[in-house]
Structure 1
Amino acid sequence: MTSSERGTRAWLAVLPAMLAAVAVYWATMPAAPVAAKRAAPETSAGPSLAAAAAPGTAQGRAIAVMPSLAGTDVPAGPETDDKGNLRVTRALRTYFDYFLSARHDAGAEALDQQVYDGIRRSVPEPAAGQAWQLWRRYLGYLAEVQPHAARKPMGEPADGALDPGSMQRLRALLASRNAARQRLLPDVAAIWFDDEQAYDDAMLARLDLAAQAGLDPAERQRQLAALDAALPEPLRTARDAGARPQAISDTIAGMQSAGRGTQEIGAALAAAYGAEVAQRYQQQALVEQAWQQRYDDYAARRAQIETFAGLSAQDRRLQLEALRQQAFSSPGEALQAEVMDQAMAARRAARQ
């Protein structure tokens, strides 16, 4: 669920992804929510994004706004119960996460608009309004927990064991996240997050075992096996399935490190994991190549401003900000460019 960070850090093992990734390269953190413009209600359910769509249709606009969803099937959307109210299911969170997975394609307003339109195509009132309000509350929850989840609650232990302070910070982080679920999403918390809660509890128990000095290796292994056996079957299945995206990510990283090109990597992925995985990788590679080209062009223009004599520090900063906004209209892309700028500046400073 969530982005492809490859380290074997112990702290990552207890932070299951909050968003369901549609592909191994799709991330899941939302942009800051803004109010969406209300669209006219639609009564019929829309086709999947895999279907061919004319540019002028709502479906065509969705692909234009969120190109990384092109060629994918939209999960089942909101449903009504026998009284016309919204039926709350785990699948509804998957539906929301599907759109969040493409948040980097567009700003928060466009994302809200796509979800709003999708809801209106799926269900009538009052379920439509209930689904919309649930979406807004879900964004509020993610906006609250995202900054905490982005911070490392602990350092990287050399021997796999965690110090008591790290464990305390991790427990506090998970408790804060669970409290936010109960406060902001009390009506769906159990349906949406119980599996993750069970997984977190099991991972904390595993870390406690790792921290027990002097425990006999055979006894440690026995207790770890018991923890695994106690997990609900869906969690065991999900855990096993989680190894596949990591293996795909490792394959890509290894071949890139060896200097292999996109076509070679795609062929290896197709042979090992199927044509769909290879196609998704190649699509994302094209997106990344286009992004890199845009960034390189922007960086060349940025260097001209940075080296231009006669500018005050304030004027230089304002021109750099204007250039970034001009080159990257999406707030998410502008932020990504700013982060890369900072990384490049830090690299230059380290060489001096």
Structure 2
Amino acid sequence: MSNNRRSPFLFIAIIAVIILMTVAIILWFKPKNSRTVFSQSPFTTISNEIANLSIDMTNFNDKVDPSSNQNSTPFTTGLENLPRSLQGTTVDGEIIIDEQKQLVVTEGLRRLFDYFLSAFGEEEDTVIYDRVKSYIRNHTPEPAASQAITIFDQYVAYLKALPEIEKRYGNLQLQATENGELDLNAVAQQKQDVAKLRQQHFAKQTITAFFGAQEEYDNYSVEMIRINQNDQLSDAQKEVARQDYISRMPNNLAKANIEQQANLNALISRTEQMKAKGATAEELYKMRRELVGAPAAARLAQVDQEDASFDQRFNQYQAQKQRLLSQNVDSAQAQTELNQIEQQLFDESERKRLAGYAALQQQKAANTN
């Protein structure tokens, strides 16, 4: 990507397309019962706790009291009269205790908090707090229950303070889109400020449990951007640098997910290169089988066939559309005929893709010229 300075918007577009293709491939061949594979934009905001919740915690009531009397709450289980967005859902997260009924802090506890906090805006902050407190006490013995409620109060205070850091640095993702590069110095300083904020609100073991995996993913994403933005490295050297970074990561779930992500990126890159050279379906199948296994390779071959069929029908559609436009027929009549052609050539879901696909083809043609 040595020309990203000359074509910043093309660089961003390529990144976006690769991300979308990666997510689509993950969803296509991941096992149905597996945990979601990590897939993250390289421009992810480092302090993405707020983004994940899609709420503004700056208005959360400062006077919510974690030690308030349990009998003052209208809830027993915390699940009574759930807001619309949570109705019909299963509570996410977990509360783990040890043999002495002490709380074992896990990432699942944070997910539990996020589950209820996601209703902010539908419910008053005090209602959400009472709901969380009741849920914890209904499912957890003491002293673990009080310990969990204390951490929830710390978590709320932390989320309330995060927007100040966001304001300080602005929207780094938007800045990257405008400039064609991510300001890695700003990212590093923002990460440092977020780390200090976490230390102010949480014990060390809570920081590790709540944010440890996220921190590994963030560090990985930043390093991949650093490598991609290094114009002194060739594509081959960049790939070596990526693999070297991954190899030095600790052996854990985060590394396993990132390795799978790297395989998917390699799959996309090699597929594009082989197709450009006119590779046969059998050659593509063999390459994919080596990277992702036979079942996934077979399903991707099916995707190729479906894409080829769509391309053929799209070209037929475009030819008939041009013919109609060249005949200078009445616009209403032309639109009626076009609608009929669309219905003949495409199903309902494919028709929704036509406008975007046509725009993509025009962009490709413009870039080629």
Q: TM-score range by the shorter chain?
A: 0.5 to 0.7
Q: Alpha carbons of 1:201 and 1:64: their partners in 2 closer, same or farther (altered >3 Å)?
A: same
Corresponding residue for residue 38 of structure 1 = 69
Contact kept in structure 2, 1:74 and 1:95, CA below 8 Å? yes
Q: 2:212 aligns with which of 185, 194, 218?
A: 194
What's the TM-score, normalizing by structure 1? 0.52
Post-superposition CA distance 1:45-101 (Å, at most 9, x none): xxxxxxxxxxx9745x74535221111111354333222222222221121111122
Corresponding residue for residue 54 of structure 2 = 27
Contact kept in structure 1, 2:42 and 2:221, CA below 8 Å? no
Shift of 1:133: 0.8
Corresponding residue for residue 83 of structure 1 = 100
CA distance in 1, matches of 2:233, 2:208: 35
- Give SS of 2:49's match: coil
Shift of 1:230: 4.6
Post-superposition CA distance 1:219-247 (Å, at most 9, x none): 11222233345555522565679x9xxxx
**Which stretch of the first structure deviates more once superposed, 144-153 or 128-137?**
144-153
Q: Alpha carbons of 1:129 and 1:93: their partners in 2 closer, same or farther (altered >3 Å)?
A: same
User: 5 Å matches for 1:224-263?
Assistant: 224-231=242-249, 232-235=251-254
Q: Alpha carbons of 1:202 and 1:237: their partners in 2 closer, same or farther (altered >3 Å)?
A: same
Corresponding residue for residue 222 of structure 1 = 240
CA distance in 2, matches of 1:57, 1:236: 41
Alignment length (residue pairs): 218
Post-superposition CA distance 1:200-258 (Å, at most 9, x none): 222222222233223212211222233345555522565679x9xxxxxxxxxxxxxxx
What's the TM-score, normalizing by structure 2? 0.50
Contact kept in structure 1, 2:105 and 2:206, CA below 8 Å? yes
CA distance in 2, matches of 1:131, 1:212: 45
Post-superposition CA distance 1:124-163 (Å, at most 9, x none): 322221111110001111111233236313613567434x
- Give SS of 2:81's match: helix
Structure 1 unaligned runs (5+)?
A: 1-5, 43-55, 244-266, 269-352
User: 5 Å matches for 1:1-352?
Assistant: 8=16, 12-13=43-44, 15=46, 17-18=48-49, 27=54, 29-30=56-57, 31-33=59-61, 34-36=63-65, 38-40=69-71, 58=76, 62=79, 64-149=81-166, 151-153=170-172, 155-157=175-177, 160-162=180-182, 166-186=183-203, 187-231=205-249, 232-235=251-254
Contact kept in structure 2, 1:65 and 1:110, CA below 8 Å? no
CA RMSD of aligned residues (A): 3.6
CA distance in 2, matches of 1:11, 1:203: 5
**What residue identity is the alignment partner of 1:71?**
G
Corresponding residue for residue 299 of structure 1 = none
Shift of 1:29: 5.0
CA distance in 2, matches of 1:218, 1:14: 28
**What residue identity is the alignment partner of 2:141?**
P
Contact kept in structure 2, 1:29 and 1:100, CA below 8 Å? no
Larger Rg: 2
**What residue identity is the alignment partner of 2:134?**
D
- Give SS of 2:70's match: coil
Post-superposition CA distance 1:247-278 (Å, at most 9, x none): xxxxxxxxxxxxxxxxxxxx96xxxxxxxxxx
CA distance in 1, matches of 2:189, 2:162: 12
**Matched residues, percent identical?**
19
Q: Alpha carbons of 1:129 and 1:184: their partners in 2 closer, same or farther (altered >3 Å)?
A: same
Q: Alpha carbons of 1:207 and 1:62: their partners in 2 closer, same or farther (altered >3 Å)?
A: same
Structure 2 unaligned runs (5+)?
A: 1-12, 20-40, 265-347, 350-369
- Give SS of 1:156's match: helix
Contact kept in structure 1, 2:91 and 2:112, CA below 8 Å? yes
Q: Alpha carbons of 1:174 and 1:67: their partners in 2 closer, same or farther (altered >3 Å)?
A: same
- Give SS of 2:233's match: coil
